[in-house]
Amino acid sequence: MAKVKTAFYCQNCGTQYARWQGQCNSCKQWNTIVEEIIQKEEKTAWKPTSGDGKRVSKPLRITEIDSAHEVRLDTTDGELNRVLGGGLVPGSLTLLGGEPGIGKSTLMLQISLKLPYRTLYVSGEESQKQIKMRAERITPSADNCFILTETKTQNIFKQIEAIEPEVVIIDSIQTLHTDYIESSPGSISQIRETTAELIKFAKESNVPVILIGHITKDGSIAGPKILEHMVDTVLQFEGDRNHVYRILRSLKNRFGSTAELGIYEMLGTGLREVANPSEILISHKEEELSGTAIATTLEGMRPLMIEIQALVSSAVYGTPQRSTTGYNAKRLNMILAVLEKRAGFRLGAKDVFLNVTGGINVDDPAIDLAVVAAILSSNEDIPVNKDYCFAGEIGLSGEIRPVNRAEQRILEAEKLGFSTIFVSKYNKISLKNTLIEIKLVAKIEDVAAHLFG
């Protein structure tokens, strides 16, 4: 038996030290360095079934490398396909993170039950009976899905050799452990080693692997930061437990864009894909109310229509309150200063509350104009026409700046039945024969004159 050694690892960033110290030199965090037992052995975690397992790569001229389009596996889930860039890439490693109870396991189990490929779903957190009960709610029968409850990687690889799955899902990476590291599951060295074994398996067998990862109280994926560097794709599943809608974002993607977004609705029978998010992000009212305006925003290649709600009231206390939900508070302060200085609206002594409906966070500057319209509507107590929408960025001098891909925003507004859209006059728009009226505005005063006379 090899000599047992100990090493000290930072639980925040994964840096290794020869002895304990109070502060990590890399991430500057205190009291995050712990001792872990390491046993050095020859690693035989994954052996390919064919060949001698020794591949020698040789350099190729860049002109000799085959640049043919990578074949992807269809997940049968349109939202997941969009976020991944078209589907699962063979041999890729995908990491899915999210808060406890948000629906990570439900999403992956739902995908594995509907995949037309032989799928192995490995769970280290639930028994087979628990998974069966959830699976019956989602879909009654699925012949291609195999359920394994195991946490030891050596046993998992034995079952993989027996079943020969085309897709492997691990729930979760923090529960796995390998015989070649003696520290407990979830430790820095165990996460790094088990992930390395799975990467070796995925690359040599060309089987895509999806890992579910826990997150810390700060919202980052638990374990060393190197975990996110090792995998090919990092997905974030987020939402509010009090809302039924969930958002799937891509934080890293070696095979596609990181700007795409998928939206789901949590139901008793699983997660439902939301094909038209604008329907859920715009509330339906029987009467027009002041303080609401519709903005056109983009998430990746997808245009969305979202509702901005504002409430302006006289300040009860000495200092006015500025509160936002789903919008940058500093940007709200900037817009209020522009309205005060450039447009002459007296809002310095009033409370301003701003909300983006649907529980989503938006950082697109193109919604600035809708924020201004909602604030002025609440201040004047005059409702904005429900058939109006806005797309424009507010500059510090009070001008309305052009936004990118304005034509795509206009076409989305037209498709959803809006009659008028306000955009910057500096946008170059070549659309013709559109049913929607395009109002070109240059300053905030122009918008106020159109809306409130």
CB atoms within 10 A of CB 319: 8
Which of 137, 212, 127, 220 is CA-nearest to residue 176?
212
The answer to whether the predicted template modeling score (pTM) of the entire model surpasses 0.75 is no
Tokens of 56: 């020698």
Helix/strand/coil for 410:
helix
Query: Could you tell me the two tokens for 343?
Result: 């447009």
Q: What are 409's two structure tokens?
A: 């925003």
Q: What backbone phi and psi angles, to 5 degrees, belong to 291?
A: 90, 10
**Could you give the C-alpha distances from 280 to 105, 271, 276, 326, in angstroms and in order?**
24, 15, 8, 15
The helix/strand count (H/E) of the chain reads as 11, 21
Domain 74-273 part of CATH 3.40.50.300: yes
Backbone angles phi, psi at 20, to 5 degrees: -75, 145
HSE (side-chain half, CA atoms, 13 Å) at 291? 15
For 281-452, CATH number out of 3.90.180.10, 3.30.230.10, 1.10.10.10, 3.40.1110.10 equals: 3.30.230.10
Q: Which residues are annotated as a binding site?
A: 98-105
Tokens in use for 305?
């229509």
Domains of the chain, by residue range, sit at: 1-40, 74-273, 281-452
Check for a shared fold between 74-273 and 281-452: no
Question: Which residues are CB-neighbours of 436 under 8 A, at least 6 positions away?
Answer: 410, 413, 414, 418, 419, 420, 421
Backbone dihedral region of 288: left (phi > 0), alpha (psi from -120 to 50 degrees) or beta?
A: beta
- Of the candidates 82, 161, 223, 101, which has an alpha carbon nearest to the alpha carbon of residue 211? 223
What is the pLDDT tens value at each position of the chain, 453 positions in all?
455 677 888 887 778 888 899 999 988 889 888 888 765 544 545 565 554 445 567 888 888 877 666 788 999 998 999 899 889 999 999 999 988 888 899 999 999 998 888 999 999 988 999 999 888 888 767 788 999 999 999 999 999 999 999 999 999 898 999 888 877 888 888 888 899 999 999 999 999 999 999 887 777 787 777 888 899 999 999 876 667 788 898 989 998 888 788 888 888 888 888 877 777 777 777 678 899 999 999 877 778 889 999 999 988 777 889 999 989 999 999 999 999 988 888 888 899 999 998 777 888 999 999 999 999 999 999 999 989 999 999 999 989 999 998 998 998 888 888 999 999 999 988 888 888 999 999 999 999 999 987
Tokens of 212: 């579910």
How many Å apart are CA 21 and CA 31, to the nearest integer? Answer: 8
The DSSP symbol for 310 reads E
The annotated binding site for ATP is made up of 98-105
Q: Could you write out the three-class secondary structure of 56-79?
A: CCCCCCCCCCCCCCCCCECCCCHH
**In 268-349, where do the E strands start and end?**
270-273, 292-299, 302-314, 322-325
